[in-house]
Amino acid sequence: MSTGKINVAVENIFPLIKKFLYSDHEIFLRELISNATDATSKLKHLSSIGEIKGDLGDLTIEIKADKKAKTLHIIDKGLGMSQEEVQKYINEVAFSGAEEFLEQYKDTAKDSGIIGHFGLGFYSAFMVSEKVEIITKSHQDVPAAHWVCDGSPEYSLELSDKQDRGTEIILHIDKDSKEFLEESRIRELLQKYNKFMPIPIQFGTREESLPLPEDADKDAKPETITVPNIINNSNPAWTKKPADLEEKDYQSFYRELYPMQFEEPLFNIHLNVDYPFNLTGILYFPKLKNDLNIQKDRIQLYQNQVFVTDNVEGIVPEFLTLLRGVIDSPDIPLNVSRSYLQADGAVKKISNYITRKVADKLSGLFKKDRAGFESKWNDIKVVIEYGMLSEDKFFEKAEKFALYPTTQGAFYAYEELEEQLKALHTDKDGKFVILYTSDAEAQHSYIKQAENKGYTVLLLDSPIIGHLIQKLEGAKEKVSFARVDGDAIENLIKKEENTISKLSDEEKETLKPFIETAIADTGYTVQLEAMDSDSLPFTLTQPEFMRRMKEMQQTGGGMMGNLPDMYSLLVNTNHPLVSEILHCKTAKKRDRLIHQALDLARLSQNLLKGEALTQFIQRSIELIK
């Protein structure tokens, strides 16, 4: 037996490790299973290159909890360690055997999926244990070793009588960490971190019923047997080649990732690069609702099939955090801070690659099956529009496949807008002005009005569309957008051929002050226009620029103070009701008509609320009595 001092520069490194190495105590199990997995992968690698002869036997890793003895056991049948190796790899803190192995076998082992590389993971065991034992037998013909350490820098190392190859780590769980002896807690951790690790992991047993023989009696009970309960799928879909997978495999892997998610994903993107960095994964486009926040952060990040986090902020561009799926890269360190990630060059490259792949996939779908793409548009537009807004590279690519739907259910690409739609007019910068609605329900009467005059109205109703329109108009020379209930409508009216007013100039001069006085308290600007007789008598519009400024202010651009409401009241001098207002016998009746027409205009702008709405209802009842 030998005793000695663990070789660390700082005498009291253990309290430091306990407190600071990992903020999350639960990751100790991930680290120890990663080591067991590494030991097994190394063994398999040595066997594959002929350094180990013969059958390796069953390689399942086993996790066992003994509540009475307050111990948790992690048992592998990997390559094990000799006493000298324990001395070297365990006692010299921060000496990584994983790195050494990769260095030694660098020609053959780079795809062996070795996880470790800091040489600190093992010590995370002390975050939850008062004492840790290692009993290990090397695959080479040397005696087994038994190492014990109680968390002080002193350890003991002696021979053991362990006969079979591999390593057992025994954690004597400390009293503050009793939760890690509970079956349900262990199961939860295994589910979270180890669900897709490459070596089978057993935790407990389960009953399995055997299939009945074909000639069995119809009420014969199937025989049940007890089998090891394997908690992981060691061969998940993303580790396979796209050519070996069918659509149904992608679907069933989605179920495996999100068992509680009932909707099918719309399509998927298989990621697979090995230069200049390594990355595999599968991303899914789910059906997205307009509420962005609740849908974020479902992508799981793995490192060599070990779960790292489901917060991929900084690795995946913000707009893609709305997708689901898995990303696996050995180039992403297991334990690092966010600020480190953001500064890391490899991470930036990964982010660019993913953006490009997503754009390529979308443009492929668009080209191959435009109708199919159109039918999915409403479920995916948020991601695309969000991406166009936030990533310039994506904006350029998305130009080809971003769609602009109309209220009539047609879909146009940006390039098609000019050739397919009738311009409202050409503005002073020579831009082709197109009408759109942000809310087909609320702006219904305006849409109808425009459609009656032969205009197509685009239906652009995502929450961020205002910002995107702003960006499009800045980036493009050709097209500009005008909301259907804005001042653009005046253009729509003025362009009409039958603008001959039924009212004489004299009559107009009488009419205008009538209305202005009646609605003085509203602050609306009265504007007389000769419109079709089937247009509304009164219409309220807000200048496009003013509405946009207000929208920007609401979404946090607020340097402008409180912007005033600025509405124009368009009075249709060709409408019979307006003639009636002019020719009213009593001032009282006229006032009532004006207010009634005004409230109808407010109603179609969604502006009639509270007391004004109550008064409108009262007045309407009076009128029909």
Asked whether 391 and 355 are in contact (CB, 8 A), the reply is yes
Q: Which residues have a Cβ under 8 Å from the Cβ of 356 and sit 6 or more positions away?
A: 393, 397
Q: Which of 33, 39, 417, 489 binds ligand ADP (CB under 6 A)?
A: 39
Q: Does 121 bind ligand ADP (CB under 6 A)?
A: yes
What is the nearest approach in angstroms of ligand ADP to the Cβ of residue 76?
5
What is the nearest approach in angstroms of ligand ADP to the Cβ of residue 402?
45
The alpha carbon of 14 is separated from its chain's Cα centroid by a whole number of angstroms, namely: 38
Q: Which of 26, 35, 113, 530 binds Mg ion (CB under 5 A)?
A: 35
Asked whether 407 and 437 are in contact (CB, 8 A), the reply is yes
CA dihedral 453, 458, 459, 463 (to 10 degrees): -130
DSSP 285-342: E----S--GGG--EEEEEETTEEEES--BTTB-GGGGGSEEEEE-TTS-SS--HHHHH
Out of ligand ADP, Mg ion, none, which partner does residue 76 contact, by CB within 5 to 8 A per kind?
Answer: ligand ADP
What is the nearest approach in angstroms of ligand ADP to the Cβ of residue 92?
9
What is the nearest approach in angstroms of Mg ion to the Cβ of residue 89?
10
What is the nearest approach in angstroms of ligand ADP to the Cβ of residue 143?
16
Q: Does 78 bind Mg ion (CB under 5 A)?
A: no
What is the nearest approach in angstroms of ligand ADP to the Cβ of residue 177?
19
Query: 454 is written with which tokens?
Result: 């032969």
Nearer to ligand ADP, 122 or 386 (CB): 122
Amino acid at 328: D
Nearer to ligand ADP, 73 or 502 (CB): 73
Asked whether 551 and 470 are in contact (CB, 8 A), the reply is no
Q: Which residues have a Cβ under 8 Å from the Cβ of 475 and sit 6 or more positions away?
A: 395
In the numeric block, the tokens 């490459």 are attached to 198
Footprint on residues 82-111 left by ligand ADP (CB under 6 A): 89-90, 96-98
Asked whether 401 and 363 are in contact (CB, 8 A), the reply is yes
Which one of 75-83, 260-268, 337-345, 357-365 is the stretch in contact with ligand ADP (CB under 6 A)? 75-83
Phi first, then psi: give them for residue 381, nearest 5 degrees: -60, -35
Q: Which of 36, 279, 421, 608 binds ligand ADP (CB under 6 A)?
A: 36
List, in sequence order, every beta strand (DSSP E) within 138-220.
Answer: 144-149, 154-160, 166-173, 201-209
Nearer to ligand ADP, 66 or 100 (CB): 100
Footprint on residues 96-125 left by Mg ion (CB under 5 A): 116, 121
Nearer to ligand ADP, 22 or 412 (CB): 22
Footprint on residues 412-441 left by ligand ADP (CB under 6 A): none
Distance separating alpha carbons of residues 382 and 462, to the nearest angstrom = 7
Q: How many of the chain's residues bind Mg ion (CB under 5 A)?
A: 3
Q: Which of 30, 59, 119, 483 binds ligand ADP (CB under 6 A)?
A: 119
Q: How far apart are the first and last CA of the chain?
A: 107
Which one of 30-38, 250-258, 504-512, 539-547 is the stretch in contact with ligand ADP (CB under 6 A)? 30-38
Q: Residue 97 region, left (φ>0) first, then alpha (ψ -120 to 50), else beta?
A: alpha
Nearer to ligand ADP, 134 or 327 (CB): 134
Nearer to Mg ion, 97 or 466 (CB): 97
Q: Does 118 bind ligand ADP (CB under 6 A)?
A: yes
Question: Does residue 405 sit in helix, strand or coil?
Answer: strand
What is the nearest approach in angstroms of Mg ion to the Cβ of residue 121?
3
Q: Does 155 bind ligand ADP (CB under 6 A)?
A: no
- CA dist list (Å): 538 to 204, 235, 459, 534, 617: 76, 68, 24, 12, 18
Other Cβ atoms less than 10 A from the Cβ of 110: the count is: 13
Q: Which of 14, 22, 28, 122 binds ligand ADP (CB under 6 A)?
A: 122
Q: How is residue 467 annotated by DSSP?
A: H
Out of Mg ion, ligand ADP, none, which partner does residue 447 contact, by CB within 5 to 8 A per kind?
Answer: none
Out of Mg ion, ligand ADP, none, which partner does residue 13 contact, by CB within 5 to 8 A per kind?
Answer: none
Nearer to Mg ion, 334 or 493 (CB): 334
What is the nearest approach in angstroms of ligand ADP to the Cβ of residue 35?
3
What is the nearest approach in angstroms of Mg ion to the Cβ of residue 113?
13
Question: Does residue 426 sit in helix, strand or coil?
Answer: strand
Q: Which residues bind Mg ion (CB under 5 A)?
A: 35, 116, 121
Q: Which residues bind ligand ADP (CB under 6 A)?
A: 31, 35-36, 38-39, 76, 78, 80-81, 89-90, 96-98, 116-122, 167
